[in-house]
Amino acid sequence: MVRADSSRTKTGQGAPVRSTAEPVVAVTGGSFGDNRTMLSVFSSPSRYTQGRNATASLAREMKTLGLYPPALIVAGGSAVRLLSQVWERTFAEAGFGYSVHAFGGECSFAEIERVSASARHSLAKVIVGAGGGKVLDTARAAASGLGLPVVNCPTVASSDAPCSALSVVYTEEGVFQEYRIYGRNPDLVLVDTEVIAQSPPRLLVAGMGDALATWFEAKTCAAGRVRNMRGGASTGSALALAELCYRTLLADGVQARRALELKAVTPALERLVEANTLLSGLGFESSGLAAAHAIHNGLTAAAGTHAYFHGEKVAFGVLVQLVLEGQSRERWREVLGFATSVGLPITLEQIGLRDLPRESLEQIAARATAPGETIHNEPFEVTSATVADAILAADAEGRAYSSTL
């Protein structure tokens, strides 16, 4: 979920979902008839480890979980540059054999197969993904296909995908192809904040946009008792984590961004990275998605938005959800104040849609309200006409707020 040209979403709605070696368990969106029989499901990685220089503990953490060598590390360019020497030390200390597969640049069938072949060749017992979202997606896909455990080491905090149990697969040319949803979350998610601190501030801010949506969508799904991403009802725990996610953004977002601009690891950055990665990840997967992410999906239909990150488009989707749900002025001020303080977009122009033609608006609204989209988790009827109006109203709110700054 970190590419600028992102048609990625976190739901298989309206897109082909291919079954993998593991059973497909997640069904999202909509009410599913007899909710009295629906179980509550909370899903998470087996272990989440975060902190400055966490990579130095990677092999030890893996050993704790009973993950054994040899390991295959699927690594993006910056991961190789920043972490090669640390891997050498941590795996040597633990007596772990490992090899490195340089990521080919796209989470495609071909790359997943190359990683799988490399894992078979090296007799890997565990696959470690180290890099951005596509690297982690590829590692998860290959590991799932081979029935191996997987470790995710994100090098950016730009979305809440690292803790989740799905991959988005593209063609070699980068065109969206399908979602793969797995039965298990990663065995370990290890976040090295020293590495995150080297990433571009805009990516951290995009992650805040993704995380901004979590509580609003979670509340809507829990109140409507619709299915979460794992096919069950939400839990009080997931909802509490989603709310903590929101509170952490408000409390630490600005300071965390400043810290990242200095490439400094501070307590505020630590808390914010946890919110973007863990709290948001658990919140969305175990509570569900609603209007904000569906609006994101709609926005990807407009070419003008392709230069913007997933989380940036989701942030605007949050505003549209606030319109649809008739949220209070107080909430509007809070959300707009936060978004502008960290640099998230609040108008159509800020996501590349200045002077949006009516036809394009209708296209976005139609895509956002496609059958099975998570916008139908809202507790009222949503049509493409109401969404088109809500998009314009959200933009007007954003513009009005901007003019007061």
Which residues are part of the catalytic machinery? 210, 293, 296, 310
CB under 5 A: which stretch of 19-27, 173-181, 185-193, 207-215 binds Zn ion? 207-215
Q: Specify the residue, 61 or 210, whose C-beta has the smaller distance to Zn ion.
A: 210
Q: Give the contact letters, 151-190, x = binds to Zn ion (CB under 5 A), - = no.
A: ----------------------------------------
CB of 1 to Zn ion, least distance (A): 6
| Sign of the dihedral through C-alpha 356, 358, 361, 367 | negative
Q: Specify the residue, 202 or 258, whose C-beta has the smaller distance to Zn ion.
A: 202
Stretch 51-110 residues interacting with Zn ion (CB under 5 A): none
Q: Give the contact letters, 276-305, x = binds to Zn ion (CB under 5 A), - = no.
A: ------------------------------
CB of 262 to Zn ion, least distance (A): 27
CB under 5 A: which stretch of 125-133, 208-216, 331-339, 374-382 binds Zn ion? 208-216
CB of 114 to Zn ion, least distance (A): 27
CB under 5 A: which stretch of 103-111, 209-217, 224-232, 269-277 binds Zn ion? 209-217
The residue with its CB nearest to Zn ion is 210
CB of 162 to Zn ion, least distance (A): 12
Cis, bond preceding 154 (omega within 30 deg of 0): no
Q: Specify the residue, 210 or 270, whose C-beta has the smaller distance to Zn ion.
A: 210
CB of 310 to Zn ion, least distance (A): 6
Q: Specify the residue, 61 or 217, whose C-beta has the smaller distance to Zn ion.
A: 217
Cα–Cα distance measured from residue 138 to residue 72, given in angstroms and rounded to the nearest whole number: 12
CB of 295 to Zn ion, least distance (A): 11
Chosen residue from 61, 210, 395, 397 binding Zn ion by CB under 5 A: 210
CB of 45 to Zn ion, least distance (A): 17
Cα–Cα distance measured from residue 35 to residue 38, given in angstroms and rounded to the nearest whole number: 5
CB under 5 A: which stretch of 13-21, 130-138, 205-213, 365-373 binds Zn ion? 205-213
Q: Specify the residue, 142 or 289, whose C-beta has the smaller distance to Zn ion.
A: 289
Q: Specify the residue, 107 or 259, whose C-beta has the smaller distance to Zn ion.
A: 107
CB under 5 A: which stretch of 45-53, 59-67, 178-186, 206-214 binds Zn ion? 206-214
CB of 196 to Zn ion, least distance (A): 18
Q: Specify the residue, 94 or 279, whose C-beta has the smaller distance to Zn ion.
A: 279
SS3 readout for the chain:
CCCCCCCCCCCCCCCCECCCCCCCCCCCCCCCCCHHHCCECCCCCCCEEEECCHHHHHHHHHHHCCCCCCEEEEECHHHHHHHHHHHHHHHHHHCCCEEEEECCCCCEHHHHHHHHHHHHHCCCCEEEEEECHHHHHHHHHHHHHHCCCEEEEECCCCCCCCCCCEEEEECCCCCEEEEEECCCCCCEEEEEHHHHCCCCHHHHHHHHHHHHHHHHHHHHHHHHCCCCCCCCECCHHHHHHHHHHHHHHHHHHHHHHHHHHCCCCCHHHHHHHHHHHHHHHHHHHHHCCCHHHHHHHHHCCCHHHHHCCHHHHHHHHHHHHHHHHCCCHHHHHHHHHHHHHHCCCCCCHHHCCCCCCHHHHHHHHHHHCCCCCHHHHCCCCCCHHHHHHHHHHHHHHHHHHHHCC
Contact between residue 379 and residue 224 where contact means Cβ atoms under 8 Å apart: yes
Among residues 70, 170, 62, which one has the least CA distance to residue 118?
A: 70
Q: Specify the residue, 111 or 210, whose C-beta has the smaller distance to Zn ion.
A: 210
How far is residue 281 CA from its own chain's centroid?
7
CB under 5 A: which stretch of 130-138, 195-203, 210-218, 319-327 binds Zn ion? 210-218
Cα–Cα distance measured from residue 346 to residue 263, given in angstroms and rounded to the nearest whole number: 26
Contact between residue 208 and residue 342 where contact means Cβ atoms under 8 Å apart: yes
Number of residues that bind Zn ion (CB under 5 A): 1
Residues that bind Zn ion (CB under 5 A): 210
